[in-house]
Structure 1
Amino acid sequence: MGVTLPQLLSLLGSLLAGLAVIIVRLKAANRPTSLRKIIAPPLGMATGFLMFVVPDTRIPWLWGLAAFVVGAIFFAYPLIATSKFEVKDGQIFLKRSKIFIVIIVALLAVRVILHDVVDDYVTIPQSAGVFFLLAFGMLLPWRLAMWKGYAEVERRMAMPELESDRSARQA
């Protein structure tokens, strides 16, 4: 079975989007972070749910739930485990994690590898919906965990005496 133009465009779009995410992420690691920078991506990405207004993109609820759960378990967990914050010159930075690039590349590889398999069962618009839910399942728990970590670092910065007391007790 040959590759159609829509399939080729879908693959090219996925690769370009993945590359853009990696570039933006690498640039962002050199700048301080903020709560707004942490919560903006899931809010912005949530607008993607509007794709399901179009009947061609709709999938069974169970498929959508499964895609979200797979994203949350297999892709979000490594990001949550490796996303750490550090304070430099009184500002909070997200430490650059090489696993982020590995996860994005893995997500793209899963999409490319499963592309023909998925296309045997769903249409290209439905495939976009499944992979969107997989990616959102990765992003939302990761960003919620980042929010929690950022708030903790911010709290410690606001009360440095608590941190020095804790360090003294541990010694």
Structure 2
Amino acid sequence: MIFTKVPPVYLIIGSTVIALFMGILALIVRTKAAKKPVTAKRIILPPLFMSTGALMFFFEEFRVAPLQIVEALIVGVLFSVILIKTTHFERKDNGIYVKRSKAFLFILLGLLVVRLVGKLILSNTIDVGELGGMFWILAFGMIVPWRIGMLTKFYSLQQRHISAE
């Protein structure tokens, strides 16, 4: 198996540092993305790119029990509701942009902290690889509904603009 020679504490520390780095990177990317007009393609592509992460489940270390899949999906969907409620669009300069929200940055940071704390607590009872699988499911369960909500809001605003012309 892949992780049998690495002490679990190093895996937990390493994966936590990587999660922090990825979370900060996501915040930077989201802040920069708000300066460009939104398109349906830019809304749809992130979940598609993220879906390749499901390949991890080919390895036994990452496989998750059915109950844990359901738990991770429920938490992901609950997190997505917060993101859906706080993501809004506006028309300006002949394009559709994500409305800047001070709360959005704090929400993303809060979700990152909740995930990291949950990971540190759960790593005492759940294998690190399995936990990685659970958090991928949680993240995927969060991004898909959020992006569907974004796409719905985007098309609604686009339709209103077409109807107004």
Q: Structure 2-normalised TM-score?
A: 0.89
1:66 partnered with 2:71: yes
* Counterpart amino acid of residue 65 in structure 1: V
Q: Return 26-35 or 42-51, whichever deviates more.
A: 42-51
Distance change >3 Å, CA 33–CA 117, structure 1 → 2: same
1:138 partnered with 2:142: yes
Report the equivalent of 1:78.
Answer: 82
In the alignment of these two chains, the number of paired residues is 159
* Counterpart amino acid of residue 52 in structure 1: F
1:115 partnered with 2:153: no
Instruction: Give the greater-gyration-radius structure (CA).
Output: 1
Q: Deviations over 1:54-84 (max 9, x none)?
A: 11100101111111111111x1111111111
Task: Give unmatched runs, 5+ long, in structure 1.
Answer: 162-171
Q: Aligned equivalents of 1:116 and 1:37: distance in 2?
A: 33
Q: Deviations over 1:14-69 (max 9, x none)?
A: 00000000000000001101000000111111111111111110010111111111
Task: Give unmatched runs, 5+ long, in structure 2.
Answer: 1-6
Asked if structure 2 preserves the Cα contact closer than 8 Å seen for 1:67 and 1:133, the reply is yes
Asked if structure 2 preserves the Cα contact closer than 8 Å seen for 1:59 and 1:126, the reply is yes
* Counterpart amino acid of residue 155 in structure 2: A
Report the equivalent of 2:3.
Answer: none
Q: Aligned equivalents of 2:32 and 2:12: distance in 1?
A: 30
Report the equivalent of 2:4.
Answer: none
Q: Structure 1-normalised TM-score?
A: 0.86
Q: Deviations over 1:92-142 (max 9, x none)?
A: 101123333223322322233223431222211111111111111111111
